[in-house]
């Protein structure tokens, strides 16, 4: 049996000082890096996603001058900008596959992304025969939630490492974790 690690959106615009900075994002980036030093060998593949939105576009209504911060947002993670790059505290050297999501439309789940050669997360999981996935990253209440729920819907067994995630709001993050647990995800610490 093989296992994958999904690292969701550990990007400059989602950590402190970014366009949609999440409190604790920099610390999560550093903890994920330390985790990878010890545990990257536990995984058949290590997949990292990034929002990668088109410049000069509202990206299918995802960007708004008057965002509601639930379905519309200020511009963030514009392709080719520093905000779209991985957080400086995240060492991506152990990542085997990089997925970009968004690209002209709203996208929350890692499953909506593609590698530069066009492969999806689903294709990577099938290619490697992976049934078990560990999920970490930002933000608990949005993209981590969506990615884990899509993995469960795809018939995978999911663990979410609660010490390697950061959310936008404590209440909605707690609700997201409760929803994930109800859907069948195992919530635990990474035991680095």
| Catalytic pick among 87, 101, 134, 150 | 101
Q: Could you give phi then psi for residue 24, rounded to 5 degrees?
A: 90, 0
Three-state DSSP state, 77: coil
CA dist., res. 166 & res. 179, Å (int): 16
CA distance 120 to 49: 11
- Cα dihedral 70/72/74/76 (nearest 10): 90
101 catalytic? Reply is yes
Catalytic residue among 9, 26, 51, 87: 9
Nearest to 101 by CA among 137, 126, 129, 69: 137
> Which three-class secondary structure state does DSSP give residue 135?
strand
Q: How far apart are CA 45 and CA 6, in angstroms?
A: 9
- Measured between alpha carbons, how far is 54 from 152 in angstroms, rounded to an integer? 29
Q: Give bridge partners of residue 154 from the DSSP assignment.
A: none
Q: Is 77 a catalytic residue?
A: no
Q: Is 29 exposed, middle or buried (0-12, 13-18, 19+ CB in 10 A)?
A: buried
**Known catalytic residue at 9:** yes
Q: Which one from 26, 77, 100, 143 is the annotated catalytic residue?
A: 143
Which residues are annotated as catalytic? Answer: 9, 101, 143
């Amino acid at each position: 049996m093989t296992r994958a690690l999904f690292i969701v959106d550990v990007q400059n615009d989602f950590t402190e000082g970014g366009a949609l900075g999440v409190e604790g994002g920099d610390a999560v980036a550093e903890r994920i890096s330390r985790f990878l030093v010890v545990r990257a060998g536990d995984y058949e593949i290590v997949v990292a996603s990034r929002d990668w939105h088109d410049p000069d576009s509202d990206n299918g209504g995802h960007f708004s001058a008057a965002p509601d911060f639930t379905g519309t947002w200020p511009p963030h993670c514009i392709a080719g900008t520093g905000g779209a790059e991985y957080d400086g505290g995240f060492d991506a050297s152990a990542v085997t596959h990089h997925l970009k999501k968004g690209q002209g439309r709203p996208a929350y789940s890692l499953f909506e992304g593609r590698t530069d050669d066009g492969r999806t997360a689903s294709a990577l999981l099938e290619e490697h025969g992976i049934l078990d996935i560990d999920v970490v990253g930002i933000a608990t209440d949005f993209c981590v939630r969506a990615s884990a729920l899509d993995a469960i819907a795809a018939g995978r067994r999911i663990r979410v490492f609660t010490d390697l995630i950061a959310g936008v709001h404590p209440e909605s993050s707690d609700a997201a974790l409760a929803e994930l647990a109800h859907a069948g995800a195992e919530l635990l610490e990474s035991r680095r």
